[in-house]
Structure 1
Amino acid sequence: MNRHALALSLFATTFCAAAPSYAEDLCLGFGPQTPRDIGMHIGSNPRSFSPAPGPEAMNLCNLHTHTNAEHKGPGFSLSAGDGENGGFQCNETATLSPSDLAEPETGHTSFHGVKPGDTIEVHWVYTSCDVSPGPGLGSCSSAACANPQLRVESQVFLVVNDPGALDFGDYAKVTVGANGRFQPAALPSDTGTPVLFAGSTTGPSYTEAICSPMQVTWNVRPTCARLDISSLNRWAAEGNVFEEEHSHGVRQLVTAPELLSPIN
């Protein structure tokens, strides 16, 4: 197969899922891939695209989580292994107290795939399309806007049983900004200067042999923040426009320079 001749439209994921896996090959011919080690700035992927505008100038179209961080960063560098249940954990994982790791008093888990002591990476996905927030990345495009600019704001959280930790609802609630665009109530702050780079979509269906064709501007915060697990369960129990009730698997770290963009 001539890998350099592959031409995919933005959402042509059907071919990607069906493509054979080349154990020792790279899916060359695609744009830069994600996730990556945000502390490593090298990259030699020759494809470039215009950076997406800032989040305030775009519409929030999706929000979802991954159990364990897909990216590797200064604050989340502990390997959790390979496969879709691998990724990275927050550096403070081993120092959590018994109360941090206790099940919440309600004992009710509405948001599945996460327990106290877990690391999650949250993705706020933005689009240049005039669309409303909804489930999946399909909510980020429309018949009138099939080729949007995409942006992901990312924060890694250490999930704990602590009412004094951050409340997920403070960041997951959807509002309408002054310019009429859909926005989260807030984005995390005080977790370091975000690392901006060009990449792709993530998730366990992609590897270094099976690339994502989508072009995404990423902004990844470099340190973890503590998040109360009860707030995740409340968010799921109350229902949300994204129809999220479980945390997703991870795409393994992309390390080949040929698949990465340089970070300036």
Structure 2
Amino acid sequence: MSAIAKENHSEHQTSIADNVIATQRENLAISTKGRGFGPQSPRDLNSLVGTNPINFSPAPAYTEMNLCNIHFHKNAEHSGGEFTTYAGNGNGQGVTSGYQYSGKLTKAELMTVDHAVCSSEHGALISGDTIEVHYVYSSAQVSPGPTLGACLNEAINNPQLRVETQVFVLVNDAKALDFSTLTALDIKNGLHQALNMLSNSGEAIQYLGSTTGPSYNQVGSLFQVSWSVHPKVAKVNIDTVGNWCEGNVFKEDHAHGVRNLVTNPALLSPMK
């Protein structure tokens, strides 16, 4: 167990200086200025400020679209609700940055499991970690599959995209939510759907933005995305997340890194 714990925590040893993040944000501003990029994501959900002039129609409700992908990021990419504790600058490439659950967990919930969970070159998930799950929906006639590519097809190169977003905290508790249940799929009313997304995690905050991920720390995302981010964090059994990583239709086996929070008003949509 000590070896696993060492592996799990190894990624926490590197954290870049504030000025590196500032430089990345400056490069993002330079690379997008005057080029017509639409509003970007992620953002501080508590701030309504945004001056990006690009407007597009919000995507339909997810119940009127096809689920095309599910993936998650270690730590929340957004800040708001019950996930406002800054994890730190990380390595500058999205690892160990982002935002964490701001509530308290019991010692039992935080007990270390005796096996690696969703391990990658940056370590594995541990009890107490926060993840932001993205249920990605497309207006195109597509089926669930790996990456954003599953949301596009040859018939429509510019489908409307919606991301239903739920933040979870991983706990060592067999009675907590089961991730396999939360990601169960089937066809409903002729559309691919995630059947058991939470409905008790607060009214979703809606805004217009883009795709995310650390590859966009210094360049703009080209995609237009309607976001729905629920403010309350739910507890999920860490072992069920590990089981999902061992095999799913999306070929997801680890947590993705996070994009820097977008703070430049010129790259943010106005929120009501």
Structure 2 length-normalised TM:
0.84
SS, match of residue 64 in structure 1: strand
> Is 1:74 aligned to 2:81, yes or no?
yes
1:138 pairs with one of 142, 149, 156: 149
Q: 1:58 to 1:253 in 2, by over 3 A?
A: same
In structure 2, the partner of 1:128 is 139
2:160 pairs with one of 149, 166, 170: 149
Distance in 1, Cα, partners of 2:62 & 2:180: 19
Contact map agreement 1:200 1:212 (CA 8 A) in 2: yes
Q: 1:22 to 1:32 in 2, by over 3 A?
A: closer
Distance in 2, Cα, partners of 1:109 & 1:127: 33
Equivalent residue letter for 2:207: F
| RMSD of aligned residue pairs (Cα, Å) | 1.6
Q: CA deviation at 1:145?
A: 1.7
Q: 1:76 to 1:132 in 2, by over 3 A?
A: same
Q: CA deviation at 1:170?
A: 1.5
Contact map agreement 1:154 1:219 (CA 8 A) in 2: yes
- Pick which of 25-34 and 116-125 moved more: 25-34
2:208 pairs with one of 170, 183, 198: 198
Q: CA deviation at 1:24?
A: 5.3
SS, match of residue 232 in structure 1: helix
Q: 1:22 to 1:156 in 2, by over 3 A?
A: closer
In structure 2, the partner of 1:215 is 224
Contact map agreement 1:32 1:200 (CA 8 A) in 2: yes
Contact map agreement 2:245 2:252 (CA 8 A) in 1: yes
2:268 pairs with one of 248, 254, 260: 260
**CA deviation string 1:9-28 (max 9, x = no partner):** xxxxxxxxxxxx68456123
The equivalences for 1:1-264 within 5 A come to 23=26, 26=29, 27-28=32-33, 29-82=36-89, 83=92, 84-85=94-95, 86-92=97-103, 95-104=104-113, 107-112=114-119, 113-177=124-188, 179-207=189-217, 209-237=218-246, 239-264=247-272
Q: 1:40 to 1:23 in 2, by over 3 A?
A: closer
Contiguous gaps of at least 5 residues in structure 1 = 1-20
Contact map agreement 2:52 2:266 (CA 8 A) in 1: yes
Distance in 1, Cα, partners of 2:186 & 2:125: 26
Contact map agreement 1:70 1:250 (CA 8 A) in 2: yes
Contact map agreement 2:75 2:130 (CA 8 A) in 1: yes
Contact map agreement 2:213 2:259 (CA 8 A) in 1: yes
Q: 1:22 to 1:245 in 2, by over 3 A?
A: closer
Q: CA deviation at 1:236?
A: 2.3
Distance in 2, Cα, partners of 1:191 & 1:140: 26
Q: Identity over aligned residues, as a percent?
A: 48
Contact map agreement 1:73 1:223 (CA 8 A) in 2: no
**CA deviation string 1:220-253 (max 9, x = no partner):** 001211111011112223x211011101000010
Contiguous gaps of at least 5 residues in structure 2 = 1-23
**CA deviation string 1:174-199 (max 9, x = no partner):** 1110x210000211121111000000
Contact map agreement 1:87 1:252 (CA 8 A) in 2: yes
Q: CA deviation at 1:74?
A: 2.1
Distance in 2, Cα, partners of 1:190 & 1:134: 27
Distance in 2, Cα, partners of 1:228 & 1:48: 39
**CA deviation string 1:97-133 (max 9, x = no partner):** 22212233xx333522321110000000000110110
Q: 1:199 to 1:162 in 2, by over 3 A?
A: same
Contact map agreement 1:119 1:159 (CA 8 A) in 2: yes
